[in-house]
Amino acid sequence: MEFQELILKRQSDRKYLSKPVEQEKILKCIEAARLSPSGVNSQPWTFVVVEEDGLRKEVQKAAAGMGMNNFVSQAPVIIAIVLERPNIISKIGSVMKDKEYPLIDIGIAANQFCLQAADIGLGTCMIGWFDEKKIKKLLDIPSSKRIPILITLGYSDARLREKTRKPIDKMYKQNKY
């Protein structure tokens, strides 16, 4: 698949088939994320794969709050990306430049995960709105850690939608703002 095709195919899927996802496909997505670049090669992430029925249902409840993310209950797999302590150079750089480099790194890794999933016929949706405290408890993640993002993963039951984006002239400047 050409890259342009892939980025057009990748979308936030909110409807999944009840078909389980093969372990080798999950690992292929994790591998794509693992190979993503990170500031000073800090790799500030751990991927927690949730597929066991009872636990997944509890995580799904914690991800669907205040009327948000009700579709999560359809996903056969949920990935919690845990922010690990960055290496000292990344940490110093974040303070000196007032930028959260580890969060940028996790965003890059999450995107590579999702692109790989689309390439092998799976759907994903990145989620930022969830009960983090409850999910940390359910997954035995230390309270000192953060979960910046969850990703749902499964065989999509949604039609491919046309992308609605701002026109390029509204978001593109050359040489100066």
**pLDDT tens digit string along 84-136?**
987 677 667 666 777 788 999 999 999 999 999 999 999 999 999 999 999 99
Residue 11 has pLDDT above 80, yes or no: yes
Beta-bridge mates of residue 150:
80, 127
| Identity at 175, one-letter amino acid code | N
Indicate the domain borders of the chain.
Answer: 3-158
pLDDT of residue 150: 99
pLDDT at residue 96 in the model: 72
pLDDT band at 41; cut points 50, 70, 90? very high
Bridge partner residues of 50 (DSSP): 78
The yes or no reply on domain 3-158 and CATH 3.20.20.80 is no
Residue among 127, 125, 123 at smallest CA distance from 156: 123
